[in-house]
């Protein structure tokens, strides 16, 4: 077996961080379609040239690493894989990504966040055991809390993830008194609310909102998710 290589963040260059950030950003394209899986992006770089990239597009579909490897083909050999989340080492609806990276001949893996949960991903150990240099986790707090809050919360606490949407006027009110519909937020905020809706299982409203607004609670101003 090849010598195990484990690196730390001190080995990261400015280019490494830029490519990892690229992977983080393309992962967002899967919002609303991959739940309960996390958003994941992957960028393959060889000789400082991007030779492949991909993101997890839908639940049950190929993971980001597989999509990136398929786009890179033979150019994946000797490349560095930048992945926003630790490559998985378990087989479910799709094969383990860590094994796919090994078989493709990737020489180095830089990942943002460790896979949370009781069964820790295990991808890091598999990759280093196969002789691949591994750097990570690099951005646990950023990736976990801002990119995949519901996935990390459920995996860590085993309780539902709840987000509160609250709109206040400049003087601290949420509306006028009486049964009168009042709109406080503008178009930009409304679009963001509809985008967020695609990534949640349910919407809870109060009795007053139901009586006054009678909202449809549908997604109308964003690409539909699952």
Q: The domain that contains 119 carries what CATH number? A: 3.40.140.10
Angstrom CA distances, 123 to 68, 120, 185, stand at 17, 9, 44
| Per annotation, catalytic residue among 53, 58, 65, 120 | 65
Lowest mean pLDDT among 48-57, 131-140, 173-182: 173-182
65 catalytic? Reply is yes
| Residue numbers of the domain that contains 211 | 163-218
Given a cut of 90, whether residue 65 has pLDDT beyond it is yes
The answer on 122 and 12 residing in a single domain is yes
Mean per-residue pLDDT for 79-87? Answer: 97
Residue 11 pLDDT = 76
The answer on 137 and 180 residing in a single domain is no
Residues 85 and 113: beta-carbon distance below 8 Å:
yes
Quote the CA–CA distance of 166 and 193 in Å, as a whole number: 11
DSSP-assigned states of every residue in 137-188: -S-HHHIIIIISHHHHHHHHH-S----------TTS-SS-SSS-----S-HH
Specify the pTM.
Answer: 0.85
Q: Give tens-digit pLDDT for 191-222.
A: 988 998 998 999 998 888 888 888 888 888 87
The answer on 187 and 137 residing in a single domain is no
Number of domains in the chain: 2
DSSP-assigned states of every residue in 86-118: PPP---SSS--HHHHHHHHT--EEEEEEPPPST
Per-residue tokens: 115: 């896979």
Q: How confident is the model at residue 160 (pLDDT cuts 50, 70, 90)?
A: very high
Mean per-residue pLDDT for 148-161? Answer: 91
The answer on 38 and 23 residing in a single domain is yes
- Looking at the domain assignment, is residue 191 inside a domain? yes
Quote the CA–CA distance of 129 and 205 in Å, as a whole number: 50
């Amino acid at each position: 077996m090849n010598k195990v290589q484990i690196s730390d963040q001190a080995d990261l260059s400015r280019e490494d961080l830029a490519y990892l950030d690229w992977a983080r950003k393309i992962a967002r394209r899967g919002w609303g379609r991959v739940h309960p899986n996390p958003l994941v992006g992957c960028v393959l770089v060889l000789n400082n040239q991007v030779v492949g990239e991909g993101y997890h597009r839908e639940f049950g579909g190929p993971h980001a690493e597989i999509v990136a490897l398929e786009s890179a083909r033979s150019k994946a050999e000797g490349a560095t894989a930048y992945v926003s989340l630790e490559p998985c080492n378990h087989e479910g609806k799709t094969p383990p990504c860590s094994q796919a990276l090994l078989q493709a001949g990737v020489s180095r893996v830089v990942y943002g966040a460790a896979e949370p949960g009781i069964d820790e991903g295990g991808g890091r150990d598999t990759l280093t055991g196969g002789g691949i240099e591994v750097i990570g986790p690099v951005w646990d707090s950023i990736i976990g809390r801002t990119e995949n809050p519901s996935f990390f919360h459920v995996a860590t606490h085993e309780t539902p993830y709840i987000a509160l949407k609250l709109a206040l006027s400049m003087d601290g009110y949420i509306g006028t008194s009486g049964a009168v519909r009042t709109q406080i937020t503008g178009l930009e905020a409304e679009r963001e609310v509809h985008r967020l809706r695609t990534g949640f299982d349910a919407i809870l409203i109060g009795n007053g909102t139901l009586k006054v607004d009678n909202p449809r609670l549908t997604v109308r101003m964003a690409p539909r998710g699952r």
